[in-house]
Amino acid sequence: MSLEWEQVVIAAHDPAALGRWWCEALDWVVVDDVSPIFEIQPQPDQLPGILFLPVEDAKETKNRLHIDLRPDDQVAEVERLIGLGASRVDVGQGDVSWVVLADPEGNEFCVLQGRHNP
């Protein structure tokens, strides 16, 4: 028996808009844009991807699952993502080496330090 990680699914008020945001943030490609779904992957045949599905209800609490990103330059990447529309958020993380941001619909994700940092 084998098992392959296909994708992460994110519920969104506007799947296409949020999917495009993540596509630009990650420099990935769109592989499915047939309403109501929107799917992106690192490359057309490279998994895992992210699938965005519509939802009516509002996000109310901190995510129980989130994405961690590890850039070469944490400061530059945080500024780039904020420039794209992310925002800094406090989920009670305290004084840590990573930065917690939220995408335009409020889904938290972390930007870690580069691997070369202690």
Domain boundaries, the chain: 1-56, 65-118
Of the pLDDT bands very low, low, confident and very high (cuts 50, 70, 90), residue 115 is confident
CATH 3.10.150.10 fits 1-56, yes or no: no
Q: Is-contact 105 62, C-beta < 8 A?
A: no
Of the pLDDT bands very low, low, confident and very high (cuts 50, 70, 90), residue 117 is low
pLDDT of residue 50: 97
What is the signed CA dihedral for 44, 70, 20, 83, rounded to 10 degrees?
Answer: -150
> How many helices (DSSP H) and strands (DSSP E) are in the chain?
2, 8
Q: Strand 99-102 and strand 108-111: pairing?
A: antiparallel
Question: What pTM was computed for the model?
Answer: 0.90
Of the pLDDT bands very low, low, confident and very high (cuts 50, 70, 90), residue 74 is very high
Q: Is-contact 37 53, C-beta < 8 A?
A: yes
Q: What percent of the chain has pLDDT over 70?
A: 98
CATH of span 65-118: 3.10.180.10
